Amino acid sequence: MKYLIIGSGGREHAIAWRLINDGSASEVYVAPGNGGIEPVFCVDIAIDDFPAIERFCRAKKIDMVIVGPEAPLVGGVVDYLIEKKVPAFGPVKQAAMLEGSKLFAKIIMEKYGIPTARHREFKGTKLLLEYIQQEKNFPIVIKLDGLAAGKGVGIPESRGEALKFINSTITDNSRVFVEDFIDGEEASVLCISDGKHIMPFVAAQDHKRIFDGDKGPNTGGMGAYAPAPIMTEARLKFVSQTILQKTVDGMMKEGIPLKGILYAGIILKGDDIKVLEFNVRFGDPEVQVILPLMNGKLGDLFQASINGDLDAIDISFKKMHAITVVIASGGYPGNYEKGKEILGLDRVNGDVIVLHAGTRFKDGKYYTNGGRVLNVTAIGNTLMEAKDKVYQTIDKISFEGAYFRKDIGYRALR
């Protein structure tokens, strides 16, 4: 099989790495790719240039397109490719609204009895500001509808913080809603769906904050580990049946079959489990710890999702632990510089995987080219064994301003 993966981050490198290494693929191209992809397999096509993607697929006789990031999914790339008779893995535009519109996701959850926080909807700032002036219970959660690259959610702990967030983020044309704040521990539970059946993956836990101890501003993710022990077998069964399967069933009843990935960001407090958000693509950096633990061929899952016969496929995971740690550019998630030479990649041992995210390869050298630069990933018989491998490897890699968290996995290890 020949694949084209759309995207340029660590998620896309992880998918490409898996397809090649598990025997799913003879060739894997990535558009536009990054420094970790061999130059001959990097394709200089923007993720929103649908006609160019189709032309490349025709020229290279691509068997399947895998869509990594959310923006082209919400933009309708899968609909476009299906119309052009190019097989594509991922949800169509209407189904992608589960991620593209937080309000749409709320409506689906409330309609089909999927546990989530109570919310109140607003258009623009006038009525929202009036509501905030009367609100007595903080913190609260304020969410902008639509894709916002992780910057559309505020969790103000006071009226003053809420007003500051609204004034800096929300316009008179914004669709926005306020949710009750739910305290607890978060986890990521992903499944693959063929529109009717689901197949859950091992649960993971992301670390979104920039600093150790989950302090500081949110990022795209500073590391992850799997399996997440907070997701016991009973809890995973509840999430699979009461959240993932019910959502897929609800979308089918809406006449919008969801084929692809369904990612539930959930929060747990005791026996209370609720959905914080849905995504419709692999999480980054969750996929970097899920795929190394998976048995079998990833390509078979993609094909079964497209064909609608996922129930005929078995999936299992190694009885091991995986961890990934992000090495980021200094200043991330704020301003940072690019073009710093990356040293030490040639010193990495074979049992540790270095997945590239924001990198560029030029004249035989690797350079930083983004905020999140590398994902250093390892598996072990215990989480501590995997963690030791990762941090010993990170000590061999360097570039000016490099930053990483030193406590990834701490919730499971404490």
Supply the range of the domain harboring residue 407.
Answer: 321-413
CATH of residue 166: 3.30.1490.20
pLDDT in tens, 111-166: 999 999 888 888 878 889 989 998 888 999 898 887 765 557 888 999 999 999 89
Q: What are the b/e assignments for 36-50, b being 16+ CB within 10 Å?
A: bbeeebbbebebebb
Domain edge (last residue) among 152, 180, 208: 180
Mean of the per-residue pLDDT values for the chain?
95
- Residue 409 is encoded by which pair of tokens? 């996995």
For the chain, percent of residues with pLDDT exceeding 90: 84
Q: Write the DSSP symbol of residue 116.
A: B
Number of helices and strands in the chain (H, E): 14, 22
Of residues 277, 279, 246, the one with CA closest to residue 117: 277
pLDDT in tens, 30-71: 999 999 999 999 999 999 999 999 999 999 999 999 999 999
Of residues 341, 345, 370, 340, the one with CA closest to residue 358: 370
The answer on 401 and 325 residing in a single domain is: yes
Distance CA 324, CA 225 (A): 6
Note whether residue 106 is domain-resident.
no
The answer on 347 and 289 residing in a single domain is: no
What's the domain count of the chain?
4
Q: 288 pLDDT exceeds 80?
A: yes
What separation, in Å, do the N-terminal and C-terminal C-alpha atoms of the chain show? 44
Burial degree of 87 (CB within 10 A; 0-12, 13-18, 19+): middle
In this structure, the strands spanning 64-67 and 88-89 are parallel
Domain edge (last residue) among 260, 292, 312: 312
The answer on 299 and 325 residing in a single domain is: no
The answer on 296 and 194 residing in a single domain is: yes
The answer on 190 and 176 residing in a single domain is: no
pLDDT in tens, 385-405: 999 999 999 999 999 999 999
DSSP-derived 3-state class of residue 287: helix
What is the pLDDT, as a whole number, of residue 151? 59
The answer on 203 and 83 residing in a single domain is: no
Note whether residue 111 is domain-resident.
no
Note whether residue 393 is domain-resident.
yes
The answer on 251 and 149 residing in a single domain is: no
- Residue 15 is encoded by which pair of tokens? 């998918």
The distance of Cα 220 from the centroid of its chain, to the nearest Å, equals 9
Note whether residue 109 is domain-resident.
no
What is the pLDDT, as a whole number, of residue 271? 85
Of residues 267, 275, 227, the one with CA closest to residue 412: 227
Q: 223 pLDDT exceeds 60?
A: yes
What is the pLDDT, as a whole number, of residue 174? 83
Note whether residue 97 is domain-resident.
no
Note whether residue 85 is domain-resident.
yes
The answer on 189 and 233 residing in a single domain is: yes
Per-residue confidence band for 354, with pLDDT thresholds at 50, 70 and 90: very high
Domain edge (last residue) among 180, 214, 230: 180
Angle separating helix axes 93-100 and 102-111, nearest 10 degrees: 100
CATH of residue 300: 3.30.470.20
Per-residue confidence band for 200, with pLDDT thresholds at 50, 70 and 90: very high
The answer on 201 and 171 residing in a single domain is: no
The answer on 303 and 189 residing in a single domain is: yes
CATH of residue 378: 3.90.600.10
Note whether residue 112 is domain-resident.
no
Of residues 165, 147, 37, the one with CA closest to residue 96: 147
pLDDT in tens, 232-263: 999 999 999 999 999 999 999 999 999 999 99
Per-residue confidence band for 202, with pLDDT thresholds at 50, 70 and 90: very high
Of residues 78, 67, 48, the one with CA closest to residue 5: 67
Phi first, then psi: what are they for 83, rounded to 5°?
-60, -35
What is the pLDDT, as a whole number, of residue 349? 87
The answer on 303 and 190 residing in a single domain is: yes
Phi first, then psi: what are they for 33, rounded to 5°?
80, -170
CATH of residue 11: 3.40.50.20
Q: 292 pLDDT exceeds 70?
A: yes
Note whether residue 262 is domain-resident.
yes
The answer on 378 and 298 residing in a single domain is: no
What is the pLDDT, as a whole number, of residue 137? 87
